[in-house]
């Protein structure tokens, strides 16, 4: 075992990785748990659980205000996590990292600050047909308030974005382009660099929803050159309740604040309040400090594994799973993009996903069934719902086999 990792060999030592995730060692309905719902949330390594626990056991205090030792420790731990997030995204400065509750809040923040300040009647917001509801609804709310229009770039039958169409929809009225880096339903990896470049050539800023990309791909916001990038801690093996909005400093500087309250101010009087500097201007109130510390531990963990190495292993798993699932008669994979992360949505002829999910659960296999918070995309593919198996680097080929056996059982019970 040791030699494999020490030589940083081609083999990814998944058995060793699995030992870091205590939750995986259990049976469900008498069968070993096969957790394939990672796109909804990933499991947490012991290092993350312990980081949160240690914070509460030793360092718990509020941040940025106390003169005492505990407050200093808490502040240091939280701000160290910010630097880790900065490094994880390849951002230039740590003040470009805004802590939020998750990707959803990050998109809402941009819509409610940058969006409200720059959008007027007749203006347009441009998204794609594969967006999660969290990258649709905040823009709809903005459009409704400002009398602007939401424009949607189509996807093809493979589930790939029609890039030329997206670019054609960029106009002098477009105030922002907001796109998913990776689709949570289809697994499609979008050509974000090209999208940002096309947008910038027309003077349009770009927001990238990285919720599904951060756990699977190396991300570098300076290479992408995007104006905003958002991800959720709990999908990169960190705790729930913490996420990151990256914004270019000059953009964030020019934006009005999001929520008002403590921590986001420099001075307050009833006549005039001066806002705090970045990133605190956007961080009103006591944040989820322990989760921030946990996120820092999660990013350390992912870095130690190596996101590139993990991505290679996941690509192998995806290939294997795709091949195995395609052999099942009556099963249709939805989302067959050439550039794809380890997410497989599918439907089974004559069997509703909800029933698929129930039978699989009895076999210990956890998948997601439903519309995956992407109803417009379901409509695009003419299905009310799909079954989705989404993988992490702790999943194995044996687990893919268990999924396939479970699906045979589905056919036996419901076919």
Name every residue whose Cβ is closer than 8 Å to that of residue 200 and which is 6 or more positions away in sequence.
206, 225
Smallest separation, CB 388 to another protein (Å): 13
Smallest separation, CB 28 to another protein (Å): 13
| The dihedral sign for the CA sequence 246, 247, 253, 258 | negative
Which residue number, 32 or 191, has a Cβ lying nearer to another protein? 32
Which residue number, 315 or 414, has a Cβ lying nearer to another protein? 414
Which residue number, 71 or 375, has a Cβ lying nearer to another protein? 375
Q: Would you call 39 exposed, middle or buried from its count of C-beta atoms within 10 A (0-12, 13-18, 19+)?
A: buried
Q: How far apart are CA 283 and CA 261, in angstroms?
A: 9
Chosen residue from 217, 385, 392, 400 binding another protein by CB under 8 A: 385
Spot the catalytic one: 47, 328, 333, 373: 373
Residue 72 near another protein by CB under 8 A: no
Report the b/e string of 143-178 with b at 16+ CB within 10 A. Answer: beebebeebbbebeeebbbeeeebbebbeebbbbbb
Can you spell out the DSSP letters for 304-362?
Answer: HH-HHHHHHHHHHHHHHHHHHHHTSTTEEEE---SSB-SEEEEEETTB-HHHHHHHHHH
| Residue list 358-377, contact with another protein (CB under 8 A) | 358-359, 362, 369-371
Which residue number, 15 or 413, has a Cβ lying nearer to another protein? 413
Chosen residue from 187, 353, 364, 406 binding another protein by CB under 8 A: 353
Residue 411 near another protein by CB under 8 A: no
Chosen residue from 79, 165, 355, 401 binding another protein by CB under 8 A: 355
Q: Residues 26-65 vs another protein: string with x where CB under 8 A?
A: ---x------------------------------------
Q: How far apart are CA 107 and CA 213, in angstroms?
A: 15
Residue 351 near another protein by CB under 8 A: yes
Angle between helices 397-414 and 307-326 (to 10 degrees): 30
Which residues are catalytic, by number?
373
* Contact positions vs another protein (CB under 8 A): 29, 350-355, 358-359, 362, 369-371, 378, 384-385, 413-414
């Amino acid at each position: 075992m040791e030699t494999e990792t020490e030589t940083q060999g081609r083999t990814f030592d998944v058995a060793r990785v699995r030992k870091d995730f205590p939750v995986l060692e259990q049976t469900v309905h008498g069968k070993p748990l096969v957790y394939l719902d990672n796109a909804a949330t990933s499991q947490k390594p012991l290092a993350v659980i312990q980081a949160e626990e240690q914070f509460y056991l030793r360092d718990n205090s509020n941040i940025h205000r106390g003169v005492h030792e505990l407050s200093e420790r808490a502040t240091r731990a939280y701000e160290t996590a910010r630097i880790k997030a900065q490094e994880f995204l390849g951002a230039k400065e740590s003040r470009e990292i805004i802590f939020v509750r998750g990707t959803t809040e990050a998109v809402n923040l941009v819509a409610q600050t940058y969006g409200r300040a720059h959008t007027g009647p007749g203006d347009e917001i441009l998204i794609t047909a594969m967006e999660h509801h969290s990258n649709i609804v905040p823009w709809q709310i903005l459009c409704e308030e400002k009398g602007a229009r939401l424009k949607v770039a189509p996807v093809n039958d493979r589930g790939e974005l029609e890039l030329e169409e997206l670019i054609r929809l960029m106009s002098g009225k477009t105030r922002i382009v907001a796109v998913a880096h990776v689709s949570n339903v289809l697994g499609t990896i979008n050509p974000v660099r090209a999208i940002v470049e096309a947008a910038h050539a027309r003077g349009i800023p770009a927001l990238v929803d990285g919720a599904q990309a951060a756990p699977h791909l190396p991300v570098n916001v300076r290479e992408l050159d995007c104006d905003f990038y958002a991800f959720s801690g709990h999908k990169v093996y960190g705790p729930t309740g913490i996420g990151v909005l990256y914004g270019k400093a000059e953009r964030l500087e020019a934006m009005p604040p999001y929520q008002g309250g403590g921590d986001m101010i420099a001075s307050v009087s009833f006549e005039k309040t001066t806002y705090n500097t970045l990133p605190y201007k956007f961080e009103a109130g006591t944040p989820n400090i322990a989760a921030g510390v946990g996120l820092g531990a999660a990013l350390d963990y992912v870095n130690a594994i190596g996101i590139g190495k993990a991505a290679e292993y996941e690509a192998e798993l995806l290939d294997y799973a795709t091949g195995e699932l395609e052999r099942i008669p009556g099963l249709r994979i939805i989302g067959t993009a050439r550039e794809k992360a380890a997410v497989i949505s599918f439907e089974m002829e004559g069997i509703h996903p909800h029933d698929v999910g129930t039978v699989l659960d009895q076999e210990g296999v956890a998948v997601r069934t439903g519309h995956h918070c992407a109803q417009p995309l379901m409509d695009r593919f003419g299905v009310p719902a799909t079954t989705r198996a989404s993988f992490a680097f702790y999943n194995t080929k044996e687990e893919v086999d268990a999924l396939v056996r479970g699906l045979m059982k589905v056919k036996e019970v419901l076919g």
